[in-house]
A and B are shown apart, each in its own frame.
Chain A
Amino acid sequence: MSTQRPETETETESAETDAEAAEGTPKERRLDEKRRRAEERERKRVEEAERVAADAERYHLKVFRYDPEVAGKQEPRFDDFHVPYETGMTVLDALIYARDEFDASLTFRHSCRQAICGSDALFINGRQRLGCQTQLSDLDQPVRIEPLPHQEVVKDLVVDMEHFYDQMESVEPYFQTTDRPDGELEEQRQSRENREKIKTSTRCIWCGACMSSCNIAAGDNEYLGPAAINKAYRFAMDEREGEEMKQRRLEIVEEEHGVWRCQTQFSCTEVCPKDIPLTEHIQELKREAVKSNLKFW
């Protein structure tokens, strides 16, 4: 038998008279208070609805549209949407509203709504941001929403991410060590300091914002780019991989289209939604590369 038995009769009969209510039990008084607040909220809601209807509080979005398949959309253009505003509304919420209420063909990637899946990096009012992490109220109107620059547009706000993925995968983005602990249930020890050192680098969600903001990457298609270099940093600096592997990783990032291309413009660091100090990581790898060269030459 279970012991948890919540009160079932939560909605008790409303008190007959005010006098009774005033003398009622604390619970009754609270319920009265609750009803009062409910009425107040309802009044506010109606007011709010009237206000929205008057269109005063609609957010104006200008959204980039393009579809190679549909005659009317083959020529890129911007569409206007006017979305009713609610407190806390994000750009992603506004896009979903526009799609569900006005135009079902409006296309964009999204999934988690909590800045972890990395699929809704967009160019919003001239800056790379995650739609789900960006409050409408922080933006000037009209809000311009475009696909990530420097990537091929597939349709509307969806860009081709293949190149980004290829770059990520070219740095051997997986843990490699020959030095395994003996016991099967023994972990490889890692100091707290070392974990702290790599912590921010492990937060990348592969959103592509940094790559899209980078002038160098825009001009040099083979440049590894900030995200891939950060991925290399994540492993190169992990003490569990050992010195030998670190050298190998430094060789990878040091190649022709690697760290030396970076001109420390900081644009990647500015846009990264996970606050990864990308430029700093790139610089540190440059320093490490120089150091290790000194060691060997």
Chain B
Amino acid sequence: MYEYDVIVVGAGGAGLRAAIAAQEAGADVAMVTKLHPVRSHTGAAEGGINAALREGDDWELHAYDTMKGADYLADAPAAEALTQESPEEVIQLEHWGMAFSRDDDGRVSQRPFGGLSFPRTTYAGAETGHHLLHTLYEQVVKRGIDVFDEWYVLNLAVSDEERPEDRTCHGVVAYETATGNVEAFTARDGVILATGGLGQVYDHTTNAVANTGDGVAMAYRAGVPAEDMEMIQFHPTTLPSTGVLISEGVRGEGGILYNDEGERFMFEHGYAKNDGELASRDVVSRAELTEVNEGRGIEDEYVHLDMRHLGEERILDRLENILHLAEDFEGVDGLEEPMPVKPGQHYAMGGIETDEFGRTCVDGLYAVGECACASVHGSNRLGGNALPELIVFGKRAGRHAGGEDLGDPRIPVGRTGEVEPGDVETPVELGEPWGAAAVADGGAAAEAAEAVVERTLERERERIDRLLERDEGTQHADIRAAVQRTMTENVNVFREESALKEALVDIHAARQRYRDVYVADPSSTYNTDLIQTIETRNLLDIAEMITVGALAREEFRGAHWRKQYQERRDDEWLKHTMVSWSDGSPELWYKPVVLEGEAGAYEPKERSY
């Protein structure tokens, strides 16, 4: 058994920043991560990081853009925290040596990005995430923070009270990939989940293979609600064959989208008469697919993104990495030809419900980064707003867990009095529930932290043994492929009721098959078959939450387009979709959006670009 004050799960940008902050607050910290830190997906971020650094810009403008971009489904205290603190955090990165691109005067450069009223996207070439990840990891090395890399966290050790709001998280149980050992990590003061995205529920995604939503699924099963899960961002410019991302920076620098007829469709077909290519991502994604659906797509699949006119010098200076990606993964020379692009799953705007300090309703459990939903992105995240989220909320959660008093939160979490009654009908019959066996806690209520951790350890060891001992059944790869297929077909950019229902049926069939899942590889050395089997279990819960939420939300808001409902309906839907684990099935309820901020109330307005 390992004992620390604070355990950080995941070592991408959010986890690394949280660990540094917790240690600076005086805590003894360990990071537990299934990949070595520099392999985290933050390294793939390209375009940049938003911060109001320059004259003429300020946090209030940034907050306004963020709330508007979100289509008013974001919580103002979170959006304001993001925009107030990102300047100092970005400069902090610079002070830690991050290799930002520079202006002639030696200051860091900024560029325009979609949905921003000021060019406030700070960047390092088209590989901002790589530099951010490595810079943060360097600081972790410098501080000598313990890192358990290639340790897969299986579950949270949470006490078993009736109401999630009364529960406490005392640690985690993890599996050492190299040896097959299952061990417990006790956290005296807090566990911070920073497990990143969940793009692997789709088969066309910009996300890494490791992005399987483990943190969201674990927290959900421990009783923490997931928030706005239906809000999935599709990025308009991914390479058709692989899903590799072509940064928004290309459009930021002046890249142009063309259809098969050579029309600059964003303007010519009136999708965004003012901002054209730089309208927000949901708008551009729908525009592209509409072009394809109306027969103006290239090869009936994609459109062209052209940056040739920017000139070789500018491209090499600011977008060099894009040339490599287009060449390596699509065989296209971006200096000579336009690049083929189409929308792909990119980002989960929803996630584990937290307040503006990263705290969940379970005492001692925090979540930050893409797995969390402090609610800054609402129904549409602005490009360049995820990286500042990692460091701002990473720092906040780390400090809080490390013992600093950050004051009272303004965003309520858990089922508090202010919340709407939870009697929403789940829209379809959900089939046989998982039952208590799959819950994180279960068993007798335990007072002592050690007992909770011990019990979780025992249960996880049994789970691993069970999976390894069974020697026939279904393999995870089949189940995973079935889920990815139905999500891509039915729960994509355009959403229809019948398709959403079909997806739920498929997810349930997959869930049923998972009961027979078995691990073919008997080894206890580096058993990736086993890990993927457990990840697939998490993907099932994630897929179900997304789809149930999407089916219930009968309006059109941000990335959530519904065929039957072509309007944003603020009177009824200005509220967050919450999904709670209810004995194995998702239970839906809603809580109001917090639009009141320091800068006043953010009045929902018509969104046009």
B593 interfacial by beta-carbon distance below 8 Å = no
Scan B475-512; emit 1 where CB is below 8 A from any A CB, else 0. Answer: 11100010000000000001000000000000000000
Say whether A112 contacts B44, CB under 8 Å: yes
Given known contacts A114-B244, A117-B35, A190-B106, is B97 in contact with A238 (CB within 8 Å)?
Answer: yes
A43 interfacial by beta-carbon distance below 8 Å = no
Given known contacts A105-B529, A119-B39, is B44 in contact with A195 (CB within 8 Å)?
Answer: no
A284 interfacial by beta-carbon distance below 8 Å = no
Q: Tell me the total A-B contact number using a CB cutoff of 8 A.
A: 211
Say whether B127 contacts A203, CB under 8 Å: yes
Say whether B607 contacts A10, CB under 8 Å: no
How many chain-A residues does the 8 Å CB contact rule pick out?
A: 77
Say whether B293 contacts A187, CB under 8 Å: no
Say whether B96 contacts A2, CB under 8 Å: no
Alpha-carbon gap, A101 to B295, bound state (A): 35
Say whether A67 contacts B44, CB under 8 Å: no
Which residues of chain A in 173-190 are interfacial with respect to chain B, using CB atoms and an 8 Å cutoff?
A: 173-175, 177, 180, 184-190
Given known contacts A34-B300, A111-B35, A114-B242, is B95 in contact with A180 (CB within 8 Å)?
Answer: yes
Stretch at the interface among A49-57, A153-161, A246-254: A153-161
Across-interface contacts of B477 in A (CB, < 8 A): 99-101, 104
Q: Which of B96, B100, B241, B287 contacts A175 (CB 8 A)?
A: B96
Given known contacts A38-B300, A70-B523, A174-B142, is B607 in contact with A3 (CB within 8 Å)?
Answer: yes
How many chain-B residues does the 8 Å CB contact rule pick out?
A: 91
Say whether B88 contacts A185, CB under 8 Å: yes
A243 interfacial by beta-carbon distance below 8 Å = no
Say whether A107 contacts B38, CB under 8 Å: no
Q: Which of B102, B283, B526, B557 contacts A195 (CB 8 A)?
A: B102
A274 and chain B: residue at smallest CB distance: B324
Say whether B138 contacts A173, CB under 8 Å: yes
Say whether B91 contacts A186, CB under 8 Å: yes
Given known contacts A112-B44, A114-B325, A195-B101, is B35 in contact with A189 (CB within 8 Å)?
Answer: no
CB of B273, distance to nearest CB on chain A (Å): 10
Alpha-carbon gap, A186 to B106, bound state (A): 11
B365 interfacial by beta-carbon distance below 8 Å = no
Stretch at the interface among B425-433, B458-466, B560-568: B560-568
* Chain B interfacial positions (CB closer than 8 Å to A): 35-36, 38-41, 43-44, 53, 71, 87-88, 91, 94-97, 99-108, 125, 127, 130-131, 134-135, 138-139, 141-142, 178, 208-210, 241-245, 271, 282-283, 286-287, 289-290, 293-296, 299-300, 324-325, 328-331, 475-477, 481, 494, 519-529, 556-557, 561, 563, 566-568, 606-608
The 8 A-B residue pairs whose C-beta atoms are closest, nearest first, are A175-B97, A189-B106, A30-B295, A105-B521, A10-B293, A174-B138, A100-B477, A104-B520
Q: List 7 other contacts, CB 8 Å, given A117-B44, A175-B96.
A: A3-B607, A6-B561, A69-B524, A104-B477, A104-B529, A117-B38, A190-B106
